[in-house]
Structure 1
C-alpha cells in the first residue's frame, strides 16, 4: 500500500494533523494500535484552554518546594525509587522556570494558545458535532479570602497583559453559576474565554470519523515497525499494519508519551518525560449538577462535568511511564472533592490513568527531524495537548506542504536541546 503521509498516533495531535494534511490534498493513512482518542486525548478535563497563556512553571518558593517534597500533596506525587531517574529532568525544568526563561516560553506558546479555540471550532463545525464544544469557560474556586485575592490579582494581570476575560465572583455570584457547590468555597474566578468539551475522547473520535468520511484511512498497526524504505528513486518509509505494509515519503510521529519509542531508535535524544495523571467518574447526589469545570485552587482538585458523569481529575504523578496504576492520587483527591460538591458513588470500577508528554522548556517539538528526510515530529505539549491539537495539526501541515505557518515555528525545533 502506498500513500503520501503516514501519521503515527491517533490522539488529538495525530488526528488533527491528518485532517489538515488531507485538506491540502495529501493522501494520508492514520496508524495506531488503539482507536482514536483513547489515551491522553480521552482522559483530560476537556478544556480548550485559551486562558492559561503562561506555561506551568516549576515552583521556586520555599513553601511549595517543602509541600511537594513531603510527597503528601494532591497536586504532585512521586515514587521515591523513581527520583534518581527523573531528577535530571526536574533540574532542567527548574532551570527553564527562571523568570526570563519562563517569559521566553510564554512568548513561544502564546500564539498557539490564542488560536486554540478558533481552530477547534473550525473542525467542530466541519465534523458537525457542536454539542461536544461548549462556550462556557471554567471556574477557579477558592476556599479562603487570601487565595481568592491572589487569584483575582493574577486574573487582572492576565486581562491587562493578554486580554483574557474573567468575572470575579463572591459567594453569591458563584452560587448563581454553580448552585450546588458547598459553602466551603467562598468565591471564584470565572475564566470566560476557554471552551470546554463534555467528551474530549469522543470529540477526537469525531475528528477521526470526519477524516475517514473524507477518504482517509485509519489502520491498526505498530508504529515501532517503522523502517527506512527506498522507492521510486527516493528515500521513504514503511510501516507494518494489520492490512500489510504501507510506504510513504513522509511520516509524522505524533505518539505523545510514546514518541521516544520511535525517535530514540532513529538516534535522537530529547528530554521527553511522561507526567502521569488519573481520573474517575462519579454520579452526582440527588439533583445536583455541575455546569462548568471547577478547579479547587486550595486543594488542587478538578471536577469537570462529562457525558459519563462528574470527572474527578488529579494532579501529576512522577513514576515510570509503564508502571502499574497507583490508587494514591484518587484516594487523596476524592475526600477533598466531596467537601465542595455532592459526589455520589463512582460509576466505573477503577480509575483511568494517562500520560502527559512534557519537555522541561515547557513547549512541544513541532517540525522536521533534523537528520532524516521525511520524518516529522509533533509531541510534548505538556498539559495542553487537547487544547493545541488542531492548531498543531495546522502548523505542521503548513510546514509539510511548503506554506508559511501561522506562527513562528523556530521555538519548536527538535534540535534546540
Structure 2
C-alpha cells in the first residue's frame, strides 16, 4: 500500500491513473462483509485465508494488485533460522564505519536523520545485548512456526513448484568472520534446534563452481525454505483465498471510518462495511493508526533489487550471501536477484539505488553476471518497530479493529503464522501461540 491509495499505477514506473474519476464508477450500495482486511501483501493475504477458512465472509482491499509492494521484492527466504532480529549496531567503531555512508549493507539520507532520530534512538536502546536477547526469545515462537505454517498454505494453494528446501548459504571472506558466525550458529542449534553445516572452501567450490575463490568457507542453514518467485507465491495464496469464497477489490484504505455498526472503506466497487477490520498495511500502517490516535513510532528500512542473467553457462545453485560485503544473490525464476541491505530514508523519497550500484560491482567480481533484466531497480519499504517485534493483536481503544504489521525483514517469513494468530484471536479461538509479547499495548499508546 502507498500514501496515495486512490491511485493505481499503469505499470512499473509509469504514470499514476485514478480509479475514482467519476461518480459513476462507484456504486451507492454498501457491500456487506464480516471482516475487511486492508493490505494485500503476504501478511494480509495470509490473514484473509485463515479468516475465510473459519467461515468469515472476507473482503481483501488494496490499492494495487496482491503482493506488489513490500512483498514483491524480498530475498525469497522463509527464514526458520532468523530467531535473532536485525539489531542496531552497538560498537562505536562499527557506528563510525556506518557513519561514513559508503557501504552496501546500510545507507542513509542525511537530511532524513533528524526526522527519524526518535525511532533510531529507541531502536538502538532495544538493540543493547541483554535487551536484544530477551527480544529474541519473544520472537522465537513466530520464527519456529514459520516453515510449518507456510507448508500448510503452500500445499493448499498448489505452490510447491515455487519452493526450495535446501536452505541458504552465508559465504565468508575471512576466517575471523567465519568463526564468529559459526559460533553463533552453534548457539542457535543448542538453544533453538536450528540446523546448519559448515562448508570448507573446497566444499563451497564444489557446491558453487562458478563462485569466485574469494571465500574461505561458508555456513549453510539447512532448515529455511527458499521461494523462487515471492510475488507468484503471494498470488497463489490469493487465488486460494478466492477459492474459499473470499473477495479481493481495489480500494482506498485512507477512507476507512468507524460507523455505528463497525467499519467502512471505499472501493472501486462501492463502499464495503464490516464489523471488524484488520490493518495489514506494512510501512503505511501509520497513515491509518495516527488519525485514530495511536503512536507506534514505526520506522522504515528501504531496500532494492535487480535481476541479472547469468553469463554463459554459469549456474548459481544456492541463495548466497556475501557476508562481509552485505548483499545477497538469489537464483530466482526471473533471473539472479541481487538484493541490498537497509536504506534509512523517507518512505516516499525518490529511489536512490547507490547500494545496488555498489553491490553490483562486487557481485560481478564473485559471480559471472550478464545483463540486467529489469528496466530499473525495484525499491520497497520494510516496516520496523523500535523493539523489532511485529504488532499483532486487537487495537486497545477501538472495537473491531485489529493490527498486523511491523514485520521488518521477515514479512514473507511470518505471513502465514501471523495470519493464523490474528484469525484465531478474532474468531474466539485460543491462539496457538501466546500473542502477549506482540500486542500493541506494549507501546505507550
Whether TM-score is above 0.5 comes out as yes
- Contact 1:40-1:354 at 8 Å conserved across structures: yes
Residue 264 of structure 1 and its aligned partner are, at CA, apart by: 0.8
- Contact 1:142-1:185 at 8 Å conserved across structures: yes
Counterpart of 2:23 in structure 1 is none
1:329 aligns with 2:351: no
Residue 63 of structure 1 and its aligned partner are, at CA, apart by: 2.3
1:406 aligns with 2:432: yes
User: Quick one: which of 338, 342, 363 aligns to 2:368?
Assistant: 342
1:72 aligns with 2:102: yes
1:15-94 → structure 2 map (5 Å cutoff): 15-94=45-124
Report the secondary structure of 1:93's partner residue. Answer: helix
Residue 263 of structure 1 and its aligned partner are, at CA, apart by: 0.6
1:285 aligns with 2:286: no
Report the secondary structure of 2:111's partner residue. Answer: helix
Report the secondary structure of 1:41's partner residue. Answer: helix
Q: Distance in 1 between matches of 2:180 and 2:369?
A: 28
Q: Distance in 2 between matches of 1:350 and 1:106?
A: 36
Q: Distance in 2 between matches of 1:129 and 1:378?
A: 24
Question: TM-score, structure 1 length as denominator?
Answer: 0.98
- Contact 1:29-1:219 at 8 Å conserved across structures: yes
Residue 388 of structure 1 and its aligned partner are, at CA, apart by: 0.1
- Contact 2:263-2:275 at 8 Å conserved across structures: yes
Counterpart of 2:340 in structure 1 is 314
Q: Distance in 1 between matches of 2:350 and 2:400?
A: 35
Q: Alignment length, in residue pairs?
A: 413
- Contact 1:301-1:336 at 8 Å conserved across structures: no
Residue 100 of structure 1 and its aligned partner are, at CA, apart by: 2.2
Using the TM superposition, name which of 6-15 and 96-105 deviates more: 96-105
- Contact 2:53-2:244 at 8 Å conserved across structures: no
- Contact 1:366-1:412 at 8 Å conserved across structures: yes
1:352 aligns with 2:370: no
- Contact 2:307-2:337 at 8 Å conserved across structures: yes
Q: Distance in 2 between matches of 1:99 and 1:324?
A: 35
Q: Distance in 2 between matches of 1:228 and 1:360?
A: 29
Q: Deviations over 1:148-206 (max 9, x none)?
A: 11221111121112111111001111122212111012210000000010101110011
Q: Deviations over 1:365-413 (max 9, x none)?
A: 0011110000100000111000000000000001001111111111111
Q: Distance in 2 between matches of 1:290 and 1:284?
A: 8
1:246-257 → structure 2 map (5 Å cutoff): 246-257=272-283
- Unaligned residue ranges in structure 1 (runs of 5+): none
Q: Distance in 2 between matches of 1:103 and 1:148?
A: 22
Report the secondary structure of 2:145's partner residue. Answer: helix
Report the secondary structure of 2:408's partner residue. Answer: coil
- Contact 2:383-2:407 at 8 Å conserved across structures: yes
Residue 62 of structure 1 and its aligned partner are, at CA, apart by: 2.2
Report the secondary structure of 2:164's partner residue. Answer: coil
Q: Distance in 2 between matches of 1:149 and 1:237?
A: 54
Residue 332 of structure 1 and its aligned partner are, at CA, apart by: 1.1
Q: Deviations over 1:9-39 (max 9, x none)?
A: 0000000000000111101000001011111
Q: Distance in 2 between matches of 1:105 and 1:336?
A: 34
1:69-148 → structure 2 map (5 Å cutoff): 69-148=99-178
1:200-215 → structure 2 map (5 Å cutoff): 200-215=230-245
Q: Distance in 2 between matches of 1:383 and 1:129?
A: 22
- Contact 1:365-1:377 at 8 Å conserved across structures: yes
- Contact 1:184-1:339 at 8 Å conserved across structures: no
Counterpart of 2:263 in structure 1 is 237
Report the secondary structure of 1:407's partner residue. Answer: coil
- Contact 1:136-1:194 at 8 Å conserved across structures: yes
Residue 327 of structure 1 and its aligned partner are, at CA, apart by: 2.7
Residue 362 of structure 1 and its aligned partner are, at CA, apart by: 0.7
Counterpart of 2:418 in structure 1 is 392
Report the secondary structure of 2:32's partner residue. Answer: coil
Q: Deviations over 1:311-355 (max 9, x none)?
A: 000011111110110131111111111121111110111100000
Q: Distance in 1 between matches of 2:271 and 2:60?
A: 13
Report the secondary structure of 1:169's partner residue. Answer: strand
Using the TM superposition, name which of 255-264 and 100-109 deviates more: 100-109
Q: Distance in 1 between matches of 2:364 and 2:375?
A: 18
